[in-house]
Amino acid sequence: MKKLQKTFALTDKGARGMLIASVASFCVNIMYMLAMMAFFYFAQDILDDGHLGHLSVYLLASAVIVLLMYLALDWQYRSTYNATYMEARDLRLSIADTLKGLPLGYFAKHDLSDLAQTLMQDVLDMEHAFSHAIPQAIGAGVFLCMMMALILASNVWIGLAMLVPIALSLGIIFFSKRYQKACVRRFYDQSRDNIEIIQDAIEMQQEIHSYNLVEEKRSQVHRAIRTAEKMHMSAELGQGIPVTTALSLVKLAITTTILAISWLLLRGELSPLLGVGYLIAVSRMTDSVEAVGLNIAELFYIDVRVDRIKELKNTSIQKGKAVRLNTYDIEVEGLHFSYGENCVLHDVNFTAKQGEVTALVGPSGSGKTTMIRLLSRLYDYDQGSITIGGQLLKDISPDSLYGQISMVFQDVTLFNGTVMENIRIGRKDASDEEVREAARKAHCEEFILNLPEGYQSLIGENGSKLSGGERQRLSIARAFLKNAPILLLDEISASLDVENEKAIQESLNELVKNKTVVIISHRMKSIENVHKIVVFEEGRINAVGTHSELMASSDLYRRLVHKSALTAGYVY
Ligand code: ADP
Q: Which of 179, 189, 191, 170 is nearest to 300 (CA)?
A: 179
pLDDT band at 570 (very low <50, low <70, confident <90, very high): low
Q: 381 CA distance to ligand 1 centroid (A)?
A: 14
Contact 482, 427 (CB under 8 A): yes
Average pLDDT, the chain: 88
Q: Strand pairing of 540-545 and 532-537?
A: antiparallel
103-123 pLDDT, tens per residue?
777 777 777 788 888 888 898
Ligand 1 atom closest to 364 (CA): 4
Q: Over 70: is that where the pLDDT of 500 sits?
A: no
pLDDT band at 149 (very low <50, low <70, confident <90, very high): very high
- Lowest-confidence pick of 73-87, 340-354, 488-502, 556-570: 488-502
Which has more confidence, 241 or 416?
241
Q: Sheet harboring 516-520: ordered strands across?
A: 405-408, 486-490, 516-520, 357-361, 532-537, 540-545
Indicate the top mutation candidate among 344, 521, 535 to test ligand 1's pocket, ranked by most ligand atoms within 8 A of CB.
344
- Lowest-confidence pick of 74-78, 309-313, 447-451, 568-572: 568-572
Ligand 1 atom closest to 108 (CA): 23
Indicate the top mutation candidate among 336, 339, 534, 556 to test ligand 1's pocket, ranked by most ligand atoms within 8 A of CB.
339
Mean pLDDT, residues 17-35: 90
Q: 370 CA distance to ligand 1 centroid (A)?
A: 6
- Lowest-confidence pick of 143-147, 279-283, 410-414: 410-414
Q: 365 CA distance to ligand 1 centroid (A)?
A: 6
Ligand 1 atom closest to 363 (CA): 3
Q: What confidence score (pLDDT) does residue 572 get?
A: 67
Q: What confidence score (pLDDT) does residue 332 get?
A: 95
Which has more confidence, 190 or 107?
190
352-389 pLDDT, tens per residue?
999 999 999 999 999 999 999 999 888 889 999 999 99
Asked whether the CA dihedral 242, 244, 245, 249 is positive or negative, the reply is: positive
Residue closest via CA to ligand 1's atom 7 equals: 369
Q: 58 CA distance to ligand 1 centroid (A)?
A: 81
Residue closest via CA to ligand 1's atom 16 equals: 365
CA distance 253 to 126: 32
pLDDT band at 496 (very low <50, low <70, confident <90, very high): low
Residue 463: which region, alpha, beta or left (left: phi > 0; alpha: psi -120 to 50)? left
Q: What confidence score (pLDDT) does residue 499 get?
A: 66
Mean pLDDT, residues 384-407: 91
Angle, CA of 142, 143 and 147, to the nearest 5° = 120
pLDDT band at 349 (very low <50, low <70, confident <90, very high): very high
Which residue ranges have their beta carbon within 6 Å of ligand 1? Answer: 108, 339, 342, 344, 362, 364-370
Burial class of residue 393 (count of CB atoms within 10 Å of its CB; 0-12, 13-18, 19+)? buried
pLDDT band at 346 (very low <50, low <70, confident <90, very high): very high
- Lowest-confidence pick of 208-217, 315-324, 331-340, 458-467: 458-467
Q: 364 CA distance to ligand 1 centroid (A)?
A: 9
Q: Over 90: is that where the pLDDT of 133 sits?
A: no
Contact 180, 238 (CB under 8 A): yes
278-328 pLDDT, tens per residue?
998 899 889 889 888 888 888 998 999 999 888 888 887 888 888 888 899
